[in-house]
Amino acid sequence: MDQIIDITGLKITTEKRVKSNEFFFKGHYPGNPIMPGVLVCEAVFQSGAILVTSTYKNSDTPATESKGVPVLTRIKDVKFKNIVRPNDILQIEVELAEKIGGAYFMKGVARVDGKVAVRVEFAVTIANVD
């Protein structure tokens, strides 16, 4: 992520500028560079991790959970709608839909110029990485 635009308790908006010299463009695809969909999803997941970290650090979350890091545990209903190309700016929104125990369920969307590139539902839990 290049920039956090806005963050509240339940929602985050971020941006990522997709640089033309990113390593993955060399092989995906030569002469017609396209950002791999899995990396577009990863940008959404990273935004969600920032949101979750902000959420539990500003709450009454148990100390053991607040020392961990968010790790992806579920990916659901991914829909790829448009291609992301070099020099595009990904505008990412992630919303915390529900928290059940230690699981954070989220919905995210990444757009380029207002057009949806990907929609995805996902979940993270907090893992202690000592």
User: Quick check: is 3 catalytic?
Assistant: no
The structure tokens 């290049």 sit at 2
Q: How many residues are recorded in the chain?
A: 130
And the tokens for 124? 């993270």
And the tokens for 126? 């907090």
Burial of 58 (0-12, 13-18, 19+ CB in 10 A): exposed
Contact 2, 78 (CB under 8 A): no
- Catalytically annotated residue among 28, 85, 99, 119: 28
Can you tell me the distance from the alpha carbon of 63 to that of 110, in angstroms, rounded to the nearest whole number?
Answer: 32
Can you tell me the distance from the alpha carbon of 120 to that of 79, in angstroms, rounded to the nearest whole number?
Answer: 6
Name the residues annotated as catalytic. Answer: 28
